[in-house]
Structure 1
Amino acid sequence: MAQTKNPYYSGPVTDHFDGVRFFNPDGIEPGGFRDVLKWQFGSGRQRVPWPKTVESPFAPAKPEARISGEGLRVTMVGHASMLIQVTGLNILTDPVWSERVSPFSFIGPRRVIAPGIAFADLPPIDIVLVSHNHYDHLDLSTLKRLQQAHRPRFATPLGNDTIIRRAVPDADIVTMDWGHRLEIADGVSIDAEPCHHWSARGAGDRRMALWAAFVLSTPAGKIYHIGDTGFHDGINYRAAREKHGGFRLAILPFGAYEPRWFMKGQHQDPKEAVEGMQLCNAAHAVGHHFGTFQLTDEAIDDPLVRLKAALIVAGVAPERFRALQAGEVLDVPLE
């Protein structure tokens, strides 16, 4: 029997890599094919359809070229795609401007709301953070466009560089393992940190590329960005606080969580996102991963309803955890 090979990455065994596949230490493995069938075709499924199109209450943003000093500005594009402007740098997270998040152009989750920034209106992009290789986070079509228009530096966890380079051969890519640091400029760095998730581009490459959260350390404060994560008993949030002390801003997923029996290990819900904000000692949070592509069963507005309730229960002022709509801009307070 042929030994399984990893097409993306080859490296030493670690506490989260067994020589072929990455894994979450003491974590939950993603559901298998039978679980997918149970979810999709089980008699108890309660999928709430989304509208085909939604209008954002905000017009598409036209960002300034740069934000300097103590300013920290976040503009929502949609789903996990955001523009972070800080210390004169323009940073995109998991950029997706495509109509679908799928290996196919004609089928798969389709965008219901237009991007909050028209691609042509982007300011000069310096850094692109790609947290993992699921299609709603690693969109090769968009990465090609960014390379052609901006030639940014791409930072991504181990193995994802192989996927990106096949489509963008001349890209400047920095690959990062958990615990690795990338120095950007004086006083500016990026750390790759653990999150509880998984990866796959198809049926035969599950967990063969790493997933990660990112910590941006800047003179204007620290930013904790998570593309996707299960709550995992708050282990990674506590570790981030212990290592980094706290954050001016945490950018946290809080959507795509139903049904819980299937999604719990990979997508936290609003209550867990609020608890995560508190555990990592974030002064402010921006929520994402909602209202753009229907990936799971909950209604399009369910994350917002549950977030509001979770904030009340936790005693967190609603202005401290913002769920930005496409095109909405937030200047993050200093305190």
Structure 2
Amino acid sequence: MSASVRWLGHSTVTVDVVRAAGGLRIVTDPVLRPGLAHLRRRTRTPEPADTAGCDVALVSHLHHDHLDLPSLRRLRPAVLVTPPGASDWVRWKLRVPTTRVVEVAVGETSELATASGPVRVSALPAHHTGRRTFARLSRAPEDCPAVEHLVRVPGAFPGREPGDLLVWAVGDTGEFAGADAVLTAGGRAPDVALVPVGGWGHTLGPHHLDPRQAAELVARVRPGTSVPVHWGTLHPIGLSRTMGDRFVEPGRRFVAEAARLGVPGAVQLPIGGSLTL
């Protein structure tokens, strides 16, 4: 049995698990195009093979750089997990009858059936505005909160204690009390955390984590492996030259801050890079 993580840029990560009954592929916040809205991709666009055969896709909130409908239509996941209150709208806009769209409320866990066995997805609170830009024009619900997801894959590591794989997909959040609720939800620290450490603009604001804040969060939770995401990928049209070190520094700074705090397992991946868990 084996498990691996591959960062495809921004908040898009594939988690591949081989269990006794077969393979499982999870994709987080899929953005698979060269650009969307006013943003353009600085790096290679993922190839179809990078995400093909997606069993479960997770969407943390309705912002365009996390819920991109053309990317989801291309992905065609077997199951798509949306933030609470968004499933009906996503199902209507997506129009992919082969995709089962479900939502998980904050504090709840849903067991999803996949070809290789069950997967359990829990939704945790996040400190982030989840409202979609131009929501009224697209008829998007305006009161859908942003969430973090904790994914439990039973039977990922047979013969090892614990044998389940725990993946914490933080999505997007700022600092808030109770940000370590993942420990209660999981009963232990996650095996891997996908932690946002930056953004696509010139400023972050209170609803995002910078590298130091992200390192302080993982210092409280102590996941086995921490991968910095939500940086180094997108920029507003015409502003790539004004982004300074935002394409190269947040990941390095996160790893350095984690080391300063004595947190092992912080790994900066290049876009397209992977690691084995």
TM range (shorter): 0.7 to 0.9
> 1:191, 1:135 → 2: CA distance?
22
Aligned twin of 1:135: 64
Give the alignment partner of residue 307 of structure 1, picking from 247, 251, 254.
Answer: 254
SS in 2 for 1:167: helix
Aligned twin of 1:51: none
Displacement, 1:187?
A: 5.9
Are the aligned partners of 2:12 and 2:28 in contact in 1 as well (CA < 8 Å)? Answer: yes
1:4-31 Cα offsets, whole Å, 9 max, x none, are xxxxxxxxxxxxxxxxxxxxxxxxxxxx
Query: Where is the strand percentage greater, Structure 1 or Structure 2?
Result: 2
SS in 2 for 1:232: coil
SS in 2 for 1:266: coil
Q: Does residue 1:218 correspond to 2:140, yes or no?
A: no
Structure 2 CA distance for partners of 1:204 and 1:138, relative to 1, 3 Å: closer
Aligned twin of 1:327: 272
> 2:228, 2:58 → 1: CA distance?
17
TM-score (norm 1): 0.68
Are the aligned partners of 1:257 and 1:298 in contact in 2 as well (CA < 8 Å)? Answer: no
Residues 21-170 of structure 1: pairs in structure 2 closer than 5 A: 69=1, 71-86=2-17, 87=19, 88-102=23-37, 108-115=38-45, 117-147=46-76, 151-169=77-95, 170=97
SS in 2 for 1:114: coil
Are the aligned partners of 1:198 and 1:207 in contact in 2 as well (CA < 8 Å)? Answer: no
Which stretch shifts more, 134-143 or 194-203? 194-203
1:111-169 Cα offsets, whole Å, 9 max, x none, are 01013x4114534111111111111111110111122xxx5110111233234223323
> 1:175, 1:198 → 2: CA distance?
18
> 1:328, 1:309 → 2: CA distance?
19
Structure 2 CA distance for partners of 1:303 and 1:121, relative to 1, 3 Å: closer
Q: Give the number of aligned pairs.
A: 248
Give the alignment partner of residue 252 of structure 1, picking from 195, 204, 207.
Answer: 195
SS in 2 for 1:193: strand
TM-score (norm 2): 0.81
Q: Could you say which structure has the larger radius of gyration?
A: 1
Structure 2 CA distance for partners of 1:175 and 1:298, relative to 1, 3 Å: farther
Q: Does residue 1:227 correspond to 2:144, yes or no?
A: no
> 1:204, 1:308 → 2: CA distance?
36
Q: Which amino acid aligns with 2:54?
A: I
Q: Which amino acid aligns with 2:64?
A: Y
Are the aligned partners of 1:257 and 1:269 in contact in 2 as well (CA < 8 Å)? Answer: no
